[in-house]
Chains A and B, each alone.
Chain A
Amino acid sequence: MLKELVALTRKIFSRDQEPDTPELEFAEVERLRLAFKSRYHSFKLLLTANGRVLEAMADMERALQGNESFSMSFVHTGCTSISVNVYRMIADMENIAPGKYSGLRESFLIIQRQIDALLGQKKDKTDKRLVIPLETITSEMTELAGGKMANLGDVKNRLHMNVPSGFVITAAAHDLFMSTDGLQKEVDRIFQVAGSDEDRNLDLVSSQIRQKMMVANIPEPIRLAVEEAYVHMKEQNGGQDVRLAVRSSAHGEDAKNSSFAGQYRSELNVAFPQFFYYYKQVMASKYSAQAITYKLNRGFRDEDIAMCVGVLAMVDAACGGVIYTRNPLDSKDDSIYINSTWGLPKTVVDGNDLCDLFVVQRDNDLTILRRDIRDKGYRFVCGGDEGCMRTEILGGENILPSLTDAQIQQLADLAIQIEQYYEGPQDIEWAIANDGKIYFLQSRPLQQVESVMPSIDFDLQQYDSLLLTEGGTNASPGVTSGIVFKVSKKVDILQFPEGAILVVEQALPTWAPLVARAAALITEQGGFAGHLANVAREFGIPALFGVKGAMTLVNNGDVVTVAADLGRVYRGCIEPLTHWKRPDAKLMLGSPVYETLRTVSRHIIPLHLLDPESRDFTPEKCLTFHDITRFVHEKSVHEMFRFGIDHSFSERSSKQLHYKVPMNWWILNLDDGLINEIKGKYVKLEDIASVPMLAFWDGFAAIPWDGPPMMDSKGMTSIMFRSTMNPDLVPGIRTKYADRNYFMISKDFCTLSSRLGYHFSTMEALVSERSGENYLGFKFKGGAADFERCMGRINFIKEILEKYGFRASVNADNLDARLEGRDMQFMKSRLNILGYLTLHTRQLDMIMGNQPLINYYMAKLTKDIDSLLEKAKRDQ
């Protein structure tokens, strides 16, 4: 295409040098002006649409790094913005060059269909069973039974360990419940009315949805299937009524890297006559404020989560707790960590009291390495009627170990078997009944995180005078500092400042929504086995639990440093310690929303059409939306250039810039780039109305060029050698690059292709009062020296551009820099810089092997640019 452009350029130039073209009729002039105006308007809309596509793609690429949470609404909005603007570019291209690139529509349709198919993908839901007995469930049934119950099915049916009898109310039942009486539509409506993810009042949305669910009727087929399953349980229990534990087993729950720990509800010791009330409670907990927040932060789509519900015979436990088959805070430690308390394991998983910790070595004797016996103030037991009671532990039992050595070793042995079966560390909930029988209630993958402590010796004593407290339990490693904010009531959540240190009394799952907003957690009670500790580790937030008197030790607004690994809290910000950070948690990676974006983006972001001169640079070879935008952008510039030649109209033919003397710079006015129409062949600077061109020229002409840089002998040899090898570099031989520098301009637009010396650059800018649409693109390629030196200069320019706010990337020997969305003054100042660099980086490739010279030129160019910016500021 460039060859063609060169030919076209010559055609324009030669026409200009001919005697005057015949005068056109007034009506014909008007018609041509209108035709040019209309095409230019389409061109400008096309450029704006192009900018929007690039911006939306940049947003997508940022989201794909996985560090920030985003929802399906982000995916839909981004895809729509890109589709619509690519479509607009094609439509605008058709206005510029009717009928010429008809293949674009077909390529667009193919890509759009692929994206639609991915966004509309539905799960296979052929199995319609509403209830399934636990004795037939295995881990392959995650879709129907949910992760938690599918895993438990394996423990019971494949490992043949003790699991209470029970059944699962399936995902199919969830779908039936939600589709009955328009319940799902009502939920969607409430979300829609509440606005975007950022704006909505979560508590209000949550309570409205849960109310709707609680008053909904249980569909008859579900009622009958559950009653039948309960009768079967009762028969197994010798005809006696069975008390039930009703537990969430939602999709995504207990999956690797996303535990949903404590985000949904479980109801214990439920009598069957009240069962359906509690079933609805568990179902509705899908929409608790904390669960909605968690789903959003971890990239789960609401429509992908069916709430399956596990129903188990209640174990009236003498003691219970959680086993970690490895140390969750140190992957090199393969000891088994058993957390235990008297009564039901609820106290351990909810994190609202202290519990015992037993650490077992993985040797033949299962040696017990550690016994931390804590003062266990309370226990949960099954109530007489139903539900659980929290009772005080009296008579010294509170300080007795809740497990015997034999029980500890038996639990460790079974835990190792479960871990071996799942081939990975596990987090296992267990209970021991009053008859001494061990039951397993849950097994899920254990997340392990690493300590941030440096391996070198570090003088901590120097900070002892600032120590507020020590001895807390490291529940999630890391060190950070921030402002304290204490939370004791749910209403405090609303006031919680982003990035504050959350201080609470108990480590309850209720506080989980704050984890994503907090810099660190401090609690008075709770251990590292609780749900909140799990969530903190998942989100990579330092957490220090069991800090006695934390709520009175600090005040709101205090600045503290939390060093979870040391179990310490310091007064003030101890900056050297805060370097012991954990890498940012990539919360979104692998989540359903992330995966949807990743697969969809394959049809959007990759760029295959790199070389406009290649034979494959055609509409039919556009495989992604990026390819289409690249193709359309390139061709639109070409067509705008060409239109002037196809129509014999002197107002729109190119003129030579006359700046003191006629210069090797040529100007093509696209619309309103000149103050007045000019008939002759020269344009003076004062005739130019183009804001971006003038700003570029200001920078170009501001500081005279010192001439070629001081070159070392190696640089000179490199150029001489390359000149003999590469005909493109020999002056006088026609090259593929245009041999003149030409501007295409309008009042707020300018594109420039220039060749100065041996490098080739293009600049394109849209600068007007519409800050949101402003952009500046700069491409740079080539040079006379060898590849390393050319790359040296490209990286040299890249460094300067990045310093002044450009986003720059290098692909092979192409530098591509872009800046957008800034106001007119800022854009003009950056065009000054580009003008300056276009002149002053000439031949700098020659010195790229010489570091002192590089440093000299970096300092000089930076100083010059700063003085330009200062001058621009003064002139405002």
Chain B
Amino acid sequence: MEKKQRGVKILLVDDEEIFLEATARQLGVRGFKVTTADSGEAALLLMHDTPPDVVVLDQQMPGMSGSETFVEMKRINPLVEVIILTGNTSVDNALELLKMGTFDYLMKPINIDDLLYKIEDAYTRKMLNEKQQ
């Protein structure tokens, strides 16, 4: 990841604590500013407190689902870019989520390099959109 993109603010949302911790650590050492939330509801509160550039959002969570959370996030900040994480049994929904406006999807278990590339692309898209507004 290029130097200019260090300090990119990432919000990581997943109900699996181990996944949250491990991924946050891996992103943190690469210079990202990571905040985490273990539910859609908690993530929405953080959208106000520490607005992220890119959200990495699990689709299947108890309480608010990933897609419900996504809709609310876009209402709060239309420019935020969201990458959805899906499992092997819910992958069929990825297209619907893309049509709704998510940036991209990744299947679990994730490859950290793939996640980095997608975050980088999502962040570039967000910055370009912001400048063009």
Among B87, B89, B105, which residue has its beta carbon within 8 angstroms of that of A84?
Answer: B105
Given A84-B95, A772-B113, residue A45 in contact with residue B88 (CB < 8 A)? no
Within 8 A of B (CB), among A40-80: 41, 45, 48, 73, 76-77, 80
Contact B91 A76 (CB under 8 A): yes
Scoring B residues 25 to 59 as 1 if CB is less than 8 Å from chain A, else 0, what string do you get?
00000000000000000000000000000000000
- Identity of the chain B residue whose Cβ is nearest the Cβ of A39 in the assembled complex: B128
Count B-side interface residues using an 8 Å CB cutoff.
22
User: Taking CB as reference atom, which chain A residue is nearest B117?
Assistant: A770
Most chain-A Cβ atoms within 10 A of its Cβ — which of B92, B113, B114? B92
- Checking A77, A192, A773 against B107 with a beta-carbon cut-off of 8 angstroms, the contacting residue is A77
Q: Is B124 an interface residue (CB 8 A)?
A: yes
Provide the B98-133 mask, 1 if CB < 8 A to any CB of A, else 0. 110000110101000110010001001100100110
Q: A725-763 interface mask toward B, CB cutoff 8 Å, 1 = contact, 0 = none?
A: 000000000000000000000000000000000000000
A199 / chain B contacts, CB cutoff of 8 Å:
109
Considering only CB atoms, which chain A residue lies closest to B114 in the complex? Answer: A772
A773-B117 in contact (CB<8A): yes
B92, chain A: closest CB distance, angstroms: 6
CB of A74 to closest CB in B, whole Å: 10
Give the residue among B88, B92, B121 with the most A Cβ atoms within 10 A.
Answer: B88
By a CB distance below 8 angstroms, the chain B residues around A41 are 121, 124-125, 128
Q: Using A80-B95, A84-B95 as known contacts, say yes or no to A34 and B87 having CB atoms under 8 A apart.
A: no
Please tell me if B8 contacts chain A, counting CB pairs below 8 Å.
no
A45 to B120, CA, bound (A): 11
Chain A residues within an 8 Å CB radius of B109: 195, 199
Tell me whether A196 and B88 are in contact (CB under 8 A).
yes
Decide: B94 and A38 in contact? CB cutoff 8 A.
Answer: no
Please indicate which of the listed interface residues B87, B95, B99, B125 has the most CB atoms of chain A within 10 Å of its own CB.
B95
Choice from A87, A112, A192, A773 contacting B89 with Cβ under 8 Å: A192
User: Are B94 and A80 in touch, CB under 8 angstroms?
Assistant: yes
CB neighbours (8 Å) of B105 from chain A are 84
Least CB separation from A86: chain B residue: B95
What residues on A are CB-neighbors of B113 within 8 Å? Answer: 770, 772
Give min CB distance, A108 to chain B, whole Å: 10
Could you tell me the distance in whole angstroms from the C-beta of A823 to the nearest C-beta in chain B?
12
Chain A residues within an 8 Å CB radius of B117: 770, 772-773
Q: What residues of A have a CB within 8 angstroms of the CB of B121 in the complex?
A: 41, 45, 48
Q: Across the interface, do A73 and B98 meet the contact criterion of CB distance under 8 Å? A: no
In the complex, what residues of B have CB within 8 A of residue A330's CB? none
State in angstroms the CA–CA spacing of A35 and B107 once bound together. Answer: 32
A88 touches B (CB below 8 Å): yes
Closest chain-B Cβ to A28's Cβ sits at a distance in Å of: 14
Residues of A within 8 A of B132 (CB): 34-35, 38
Indicate whether A37 reaches chain B with its CB closer than 8 angstroms. yes
What are the residues of chain A within 8 A of B95 when measuring CB–CB? 80, 83-84, 87, 112
Query: Among the interface residues B109, B114, B128, B132, which one has the most CB atoms of the partner chain A within 10 A?
Result: B128
Report yes or no: B128 in contact with A34, Cβ–Cβ below 8 A. Answer: yes
Complex CA distance for A73 and B131, rounded to whole angstroms: 41
A772 cross-chain contacts in B, Cβ below 8 A: 113-114, 117
| Contact residues in A for B92 (Cβ distance below 8 Å) | 76, 80, 119
Q: Shortest Cβ distance from B91 into chain A, in angstroms? A: 5
CB 8 Å contact bits of A1-41 with B (1 = contact, 0 = none): 00000000000000000000000000000000011011001
A188 beta carbon closer than 8 Å to chain B: yes
Q: How far is the CB of B100 from chain A (nearest CB, A)?
A: 12
Q: Is the CB of A34 within 8 A of B88?
A: no
Asked whether B88 lies within 8 Å of A195 as measured between CB atoms, the reply is: yes
State the CA gap A80–B109 with chains docked (Å).
16
Q: Which residue on B lies nearest to A82, using beta carbons?
A: B95
Q: Is the CB of A77 within 8 A of B89?
A: no
A87 and B99 in contact (CB under 8 A), knowing A45-B121, A195-B88, A772-B114?
A: yes
Please give me the residue from chain A that is nearest to B121 by CB atom: A45
A84 touches B98 (CB 8 A): yes
Cα separation A80 to B89 with both chains bound (whole Å): 11
**Nearest Cβ distance between residue B15 and chain A, in whole angstroms?**
13
Which chain A residues have a beta carbon within 8 Å of chain B's beta carbons?
A: 34-35, 37-38, 41, 45, 48, 73, 76-77, 80, 83-84, 87-88, 112, 119, 188, 191-192, 195-196, 199, 770, 772-773
Give 11 A-B pairs besides A45-B121, A73-B88, A88-B104 with Cβ atoms closer than 8 angstroms: A34-B128, A34-B132, A35-B132, A41-B121, A41-B128, A73-B89, A76-B91, A80-B95, A188-B89, A770-B113, A772-B117
- By Cβ-Cβ distance, the 6 closest A-B pairs, closest first, are A38-B128, A80-B91, A192-B89, A83-B95, A73-B88, A80-B94
Can you offer 26 A-B residue contacts whose CB atoms are under 8 A?
Answer: A34-B131, A35-B132, A38-B128, A41-B124, A45-B125, A73-B88, A73-B89, A76-B92, A77-B91, A80-B91, A80-B94, A80-B95, A84-B94, A84-B95, A84-B98, A87-B99, A88-B104, A112-B95, A191-B89, A192-B88, A192-B89, A195-B109, A196-B88, A772-B114, A772-B117, A773-B117
